[in-house]
A and B are shown apart, each in its own frame.
Chain A
């Protein structure tokens, strides 16, 4: 990407994205608990700050690691985000939940950081490159679209359930790391962090359809990884 394109991206980055909250679908407004916490913060209550950080730090770090090239930069950007959150407290209007608002500040800080490092690549990669990606290898279906090679069963309802879950969890963690960046970002936010799909769109600045396609492809890849791992092919 050339310099002028970078500059134009820079102007669009806003650390306090409240106005942009309606860009992608309708968002759930802030919860009463969010307003209470913000009111305490505005009053200078330091225990409220501790509560805020305890509640969202892990989430922010997880998202930052999805968006940024390495852990050290991710940690710096999270620190930077907390400062921006504090500075922006007076501008929080509660049009989205506190979590979404903070997550959006993080993504905007991450964008700014990537531009500074001339690495806007990973964000533009939020459009998925391979438009032909399918959920299951087409060779596993016969010409009429029925299973030729059925999904291999793993029994996740057996007495060894806990062992199975632990095994699967390890596999999922590794497979998640290996997903293409855009899929990893969406699966992390939607499934691991449990954000509503509107919130995921809002945080990442992507459209509803794109979000669902990325989620679908990401989950499908993870299932393939589980199938291979748990069956031990």
Chain B
């Protein structure tokens, strides 16, 4: 039977659903009969849940002027490149397109 010590090393793999059927059943079986490990497991689950709820810093209300300018320039340039590509294609003889 799985020891409590061994179980504490399998908790993450179990929560991440990375255990194969054998070890997974051993963990479940152990948990059903060991209140201490059940408490440990419950604490780990709760901790992961809390981490997921950790508040993020609010995003900036607007895009920085520098980035916006950069985006406009990039878009102009990419439009010009696309036009150039189309024109080149039109100039090529039909059998080469």
Contact = CB atoms under 8 A, between A and B. Distances in A.
B24 to A, nearest CB: 15
Contacts, number: 128
B: contact size bracket: 35 or more
Interface string B1-27: 001111011011100101000000000
Interface stretch (A3-11, A41-49, A98-106): A41-49
A1 B94 CA distance: 56
Given A134-B9, A216-B12, A226-B43, A150 B51 contact: no
Q: Is the interface of A mostly helix, strand, loop or mixed?
A: helix
- Assign chain A's interface to a size class: 35 or more
Interface in A173-191: 173, 176, 187, 191
Interface of A: 42, 44, 46, 49-50, 53-55, 57-59, 61-62, 79, 82-83, 86-87, 89-90, 134-136, 138, 141, 144-147, 150-151, 153-154, 156, 165, 168-169, 172-173, 176, 187, 191-192, 194, 197, 212, 215-216, 219-220, 222-223, 226-227
Interface of B: 3-6, 8-9, 11-13, 16, 18, 36-37, 39-40, 42-44, 46-48, 50-54, 56-60, 62-64, 66-68, 70-72, 74-75, 78-79
